[in-house]
């Protein structure tokens, strides 16, 4: 990767073919070692986390990160929203730790980026600092996921697993984690589950089919949120309810 910090502050870039712009734009899909965030809130969180490498802005912006003033044409090349706020940061991806805390959120093939981002944001709000995205889940660094997460990715320990979900769950069970799986066929209301003194994994499932049956079968308890007039909830909503209950 280019050494992006070795440059002067507030340089003006007028060409969309500039090598720094081309390099930044290549990470718009969230693949590779870097990613882009847009909007003042996200950029500020990126700076606070120490992960911001470069800032691209329509107006001068004071920070200790190399900043480039660009025009609207260039900014559109670096953004995906219809009405961007006028500022973008190129960031390096945060390092991960293998040390896991008392409670873990596990996403089993949650495919919608809005749902993944919402669950990450909610996880941070309720102290689920360790999140595992099972194989088949939407990527963390896609633009829509990042936008929905509202910067939560800068404060969470997120693992994007390439292993089969059941294998990952069995590894966690071997480490002494109590597995809580959501299941529409379950009869146990969430409030009846005692998590005191337990370290546990809360498993949320795919939007269409829910949690995989092999994971459900290996879980220690299966829960179903009690409701009326409708038979299911959006996974982001359901996850929020359960994370609130299991703090």
What's residue 4's pLDDT? 43
Here the tokens at position 75 are 């900014």
Closest CA to 109 of 146, 139, 144: 139
What's residue 3's pLDDT? 40
What's residue 238's pLDDT? 97
Q: Which residues of the chain have pLDDT under 50?
A: 1-8
What's residue 82's pLDDT? 87
Residue 76: what are its φ and ψ, rounded to 5°? Answer: -65, -30
Report how far residue 173's alpha carbon sits from residue 165's, in angstroms, rounded to the nearest whole number: 12
Residue 191: what are its φ and ψ, rounded to 5°? Answer: -70, -15
- Which residue intervals of the chain are DSSP H helices? 19-25, 40-49, 72-77, 113-125, 143-149, 165-174, 213-218, 235-245
Reported as a single tens digit per residue, the pLDDT across 121-136 is 999 999 999 999 999 9
pTM: 0.91
What's residue 171's pLDDT? 96
């Amino acid at each position: 990767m280019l050494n992006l910090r070795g440059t002067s502050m507030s340089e003006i870039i007028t060409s969309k073919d500039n090598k720094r712009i081309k390099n930044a734009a290549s990470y718009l899909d969230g693949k590779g070692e870097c990613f882009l965030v847009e909007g003042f809130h996200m950029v500020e969180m990126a700076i606070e986390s120490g992960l911001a490498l470069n800032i691209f802005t329509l107006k001068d912006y004071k920070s200790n990160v190399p900043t480039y003033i660009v025009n609207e044409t260039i900014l559109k090349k670096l953004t995906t929203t219809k009405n961007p706020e006028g500022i973008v940061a190129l960031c390096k991806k945060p390092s991960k730790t293998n040390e896991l805390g008392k409670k873990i959120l596990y996403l089993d093939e949650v495919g919608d980026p809005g749902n993944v981002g919402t669950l990450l944001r909610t996880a941070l709000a309720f102290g689920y600092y360790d999140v595992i995205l099972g194989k088949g889940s939407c990527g963390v660094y896609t633009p829509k996921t990042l936008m929905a997460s509202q910067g939560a990715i800068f404060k969470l320990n997120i693992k994007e697993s390439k292993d089969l979900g059941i294998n990952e769950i069995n590894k966690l069970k071997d480490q002494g984690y109590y597995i809580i799986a959501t299941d529409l066929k379950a009869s146990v209301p969430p409030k009846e589950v005692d998590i005191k003194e337990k370290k546990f994994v809360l498993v949320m499932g795919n939007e269409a089919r829910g949690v995989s049956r092999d994971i459900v079968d290996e879980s220690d308890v299966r829960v179903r949120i009690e409701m009326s007039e409708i038979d299911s909830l959006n996974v982001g909503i359901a996850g929020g309810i359960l994370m609130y209950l299991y703090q």
